[in-house]
């Protein structure tokens, strides 16, 4: 009967140990070794048997043991948390770059974007952004307001991404009305380097089309025409 009760107790302990996937038995030996796994047999003051995490069944006499403990398991999921994509929740983005004008109406400018958004899953986020564009030739600063959409192609620590900004640009010189006001679109792609579950660094290239007024002179005098100012941008940033 006594052996049967011991067997039942050991069976219960073993089942409980397997059920508690967040913890494992740990045997600290007097020689400094540490063995992790599930204790499958134990005779107090004599010996114990442990099924180790590497698949070995080991027997130790009690005079070899320094102490016994139960400790949290460092699971594969915990160890690979930096490779499991960005965490759901608030997402802030700070992005800076230089834009090289292309085409007939292309103008060089500096770019700064500040975006507040939400990360819906490891792959997709949406935000609302603003910032500035400084045009060297015009010696003018314009303020864009736009929606930002971002897709990470994979959830790896280093992953390609696609982004699209769509909005409108305002001119503070004209009290945000009139000259310099126009439609803005800014697709880009790049590489995202994940630092933690919430933050990452990224490098990208993009294309920007800004609708704006250009002055012209003709037979009837001076006037303004609405044209697309295009540019290729190189940018870097941080998300948090």
Q: What is the pLDDT of residues 124-165, one digit of tens each?
A: 999 999 999 999 988 989 999 999 999 999 888 899 999 999
Mean pLDDT in residue range 164-169? 96
Q: For the residues of 88-114, what is the DSSP string, one character each? A: SEEEEEEEEEEEEEESTT---EEEEEE
Q: Do residues 53 and 107 share a domain?
A: no
- Report yes or no: 20 and 71 within 8 Å, Cβ to Cβ: no
d(CA 36, CA 27): 6
Which pLDDT value is given to residue 76?
A: 46
Residues sharing a CB contact under 8 Å with residue 186, sequence separation 6 or more, in sequence order: 146, 164, 165, 166, 206, 207, 208, 209, 233
- How high is the pLDDT of residue 219? 64
The pLDDT of residue 167 is 96
Please state whether the predicted TM-score (pTM) of the whole model is above 0.75.
Answer: no
| pLDDT at 223 (0 to 100) | 65
The answer on 58 and 123 residing in a single domain is no
Phi-psi region of 107 (alpha: psi -120 to 50; beta: other; left: phi over 0): beta
| pLDDT tens digits, one per residue of 93-131 | 999 999 999 998 899 999 999 999 999 998 999 999 999
Confidence of residue 220 (pLDDT cuts 50, 70, 90): low
Q: Which of 78-82, 135-139, 141-145, 198-202 has the lowest mean pLDDT?
A: 78-82
List beta partners, residue 184: 167, 210
Q: Total domain count for the chain?
A: 2
Strand-pairing partners, residue 216, are 223
Query: Which residues, 6+ apart, have CB-to-CB distance to 96 below 8 Å?
Result: 110, 111, 112, 113, 235, 236, 237
Decide if 90 is inside a domain.
yes
Six token digits for residue 202: 């990224």
pLDDT at residue 46, as a whole number: 92
Residues 42 and 95 in one domain: no
Closest CA to 183 of 222, 142, 138, 217: 142
16 in a domain, yes or no?
no
pLDDT over threshold 80, residue 79: no
Q: What is the pLDDT of residue 17?
A: 46
**Same structural domain, 178 and 195:** yes
Which range of residues forms the domain containing residue 46? 22-73
Tell me the CATH number at 27. 2.30.30.100
């Amino acid at each position: 009967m006594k052996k049967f009760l011991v067997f039942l107790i050991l069976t219960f302990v073993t089942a409980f140990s397997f059920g508690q996937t967040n913890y494992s038995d740990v045997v600290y030996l007097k020689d400094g070794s540490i063995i992790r796994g599930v204790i499958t047999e134990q005779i107090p003051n004599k010996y114990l048997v442990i099924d180790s995490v590497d698949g070995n069944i080991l027997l130790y006499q009690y005079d070899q043991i320094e102490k016994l403990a139960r400790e949290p398991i460092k699971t594969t999921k915990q160890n690979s948390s930096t490779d499991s994509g960005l965490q759901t929740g608030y997402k802030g983005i700070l992005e800076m770059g230089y834009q090289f004008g292309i085409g007939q109406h292309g103008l060089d400018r500096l770019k700064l974007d500040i975006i507040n958004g939400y990360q819906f899953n490891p792959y997709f986020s949406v935000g609302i952004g603003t910032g500035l564009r400084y045009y060297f030739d015009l010696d003018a600063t314009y303020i864009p307001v736009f929606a930002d959409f971002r897709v990470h192609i994979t959830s790896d620590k280093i992953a390609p991404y696609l982004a699209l900004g769509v909005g409108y640009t305002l001119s503070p010189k004209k009290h945000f009305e009139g000259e310099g006001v126009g439609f803005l679109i800014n697709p880009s792609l790049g590489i995202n380097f994940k630092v933690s579950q919430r933050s990452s660094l990224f490098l990208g290239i993009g294309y920007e089309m800004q609708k704006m007024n250009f002055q012209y002179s003709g037979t009837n005098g001076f006037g303004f025409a609405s044209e697309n100012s295009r540019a290729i941008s190189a940018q870097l940033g941080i998300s948090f």
